[in-house]
């Protein structure tokens, strides 16, 4: 039986920290679903279709190709655990940067386990990326700053041209 994990996020945009978590999750699970989720509490800068494209380009840039055991998709209808159940995922993998993330993610992890028996696995980021968030990247980019230390070349180029 193969193990399937879902790595969800808004990925608006995907950062090197996200890529690190995805790559490390792939060492633990047989199949990885990178799922762009719609968060109604956030105003997205990048349309979902472009976020999926940037995830794909970033993975190719980092890994040389998208591994055959990866699925990159989006989910905006219903609960994330419904998606997990549909694809046979037993785990949700979340990167956490600080105690604030732990406090935010823990209640969701408990509810997801109660609703569908899906466990949440927290992965700590590479310390080089622990301070980086998508919102920080958006802010720096919007104000004309250099985001190349925080994102793939594909994302940096997209943001540069999208915000011109």
Binding region for substrate: 10, 42, 80, 94
For tokens 């997209």, the residue is: 158
Q: Token digits for 27?
A: 């060492």
Q: Token digits for 10?
A: 């808004």
Q: Which residues are annotated as a binding site?
A: 10-11, 18, 42, 80, 94-97, 105, 129-135
Q: Which residues are annotated as a binding site for ATP?
A: 10-11, 18, 95-97, 105, 129-135
Instruction: Provide the b/e sequence for 109-144 (b: ≥16 CB within 10 Å).
Output: beebeeebebebbebebbeebeebbbeebbebbeee
């Amino acid at each position: 039986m193969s193990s399937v994990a879902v790595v969800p996020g808004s990925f608006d945009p995907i950062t090197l920290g996200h890529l690190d978590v995805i790559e490390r999750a792939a060492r633990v699970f047989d199949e990885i679903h990178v799922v762009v989720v719609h968060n109604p509490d956030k105003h997205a800068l990048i349309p979902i279709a472009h976020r999926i494209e940037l995830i794909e380009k970033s993975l190719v840039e980092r890994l040389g190709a998208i591994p055959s055991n990866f699925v990159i998709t989006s989910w905006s209808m219903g609960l994330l655990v419904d998606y997990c159940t549909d694809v046979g995922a037993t785990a949700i993998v979340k990167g956490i940067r600080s105690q604030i993330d732990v406090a935010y993610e823990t209640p969701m992890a408990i509810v997801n386990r109660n609703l569908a028996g899906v466990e949440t696995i927290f992965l700590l980021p590479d310390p080089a990326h622990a301070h980086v968030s998508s919102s920080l990247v958006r802010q720096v980019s919007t104000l004309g700053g250099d985001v190349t230390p925080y994102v793939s070349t594909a994302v940096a180029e997209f943001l540069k041209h999208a915000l011109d």
